[in-house]
Amino acid sequence: MSKKPIIVFEGIEGSGKSLHIKNVVNFLKKKNIKFIKIREPGGSKSSERIRKLILNNSSKFNRETDLLLYMASRSENMEKVIRKNYKKKIILIDRFIDSTIAYQHYGMGININLINFLNKFLLKNIKINFTFLNLVNEKNLRIRLTKRKNLNRYDKFSIKLYKTIQNGFIKIANREKNKYLKINSNLSINENKLIILDKVNKLIK
């Protein structure tokens, strides 16, 4: 395990990813440990511009265009952020390649071989060290989405589709159980905070 790992936080909308990343950021800052944090889509300046295009409620892209826009955002991040910091700093990522598979393949039905080919082409020798998969039940999902003030087009999927996507995430995680930790986002914030920080501490020692 690299002492400067890539740690990814995955999960559907309302699963608690952003809050958990914030807790890890505060933990690393207190320990004075160097890290960078990015999100997908987004991250680099160019990727953030692509993010606005993808998530804009007026955007009406077909599923293939969506996929290629996500990959374009990832390409910018790989060259301008991730590759430059790989094994030099801890890299925290809010969504990464598993989200593409869960949403675009399991959710939208795009051929998995195409997605895998594009990811392999972009990542090359870059390896993800560990992933926290945040899971949420239907009741809490509905509550959390209702509380959001500004909904983008990915916040407006049907509950059925969110369930399909979350099941896709679970299938991905079950293939390499030693590299994933499923976080029950229905537990208290403090319970999950302790679980996640304990694991992060082990990853960076």
Q: What is the pLDDT of residues 4-62, one digit of tens each?
A: 999 999 999 989 898 999 999 999 999 999 999 999 999 888 999 998 888 887 778 89
Using CA atoms, how far residue 13 sits from 75, 124, 190, in Å, is 23, 28, 20
User: Whose structure tokens read 């809050």?
Assistant: 19
Could you tell me if residue 162 is inside a domain?
Answer: yes
Residue 1 domain flag? no
Whether residue 1 has pLDDT greater than 60 = no
Domain limits for position 167: 6-204
How would you label 168-183 residue by residue, b for 16+ Cβ within 10 Å and e otherwise?
bbeebbeeeeeebebb
Number of domains composing the chain: 1
pLDDT on residue 145? 83
Does residue 27 lie in a domain region? yes
> Measured in whole angstroms, how far is the alpha carbon of residue 158 from the centre of its chain?
20
pTM of the model: 0.93
DSSP-derived secondary structure letter, 173: H
Residue 187 maps to a domain:
yes
φ, ψ of residue 32 in degrees (nearest 5): 60, 40
Domain of residue 29, CATH code: 3.40.50.300
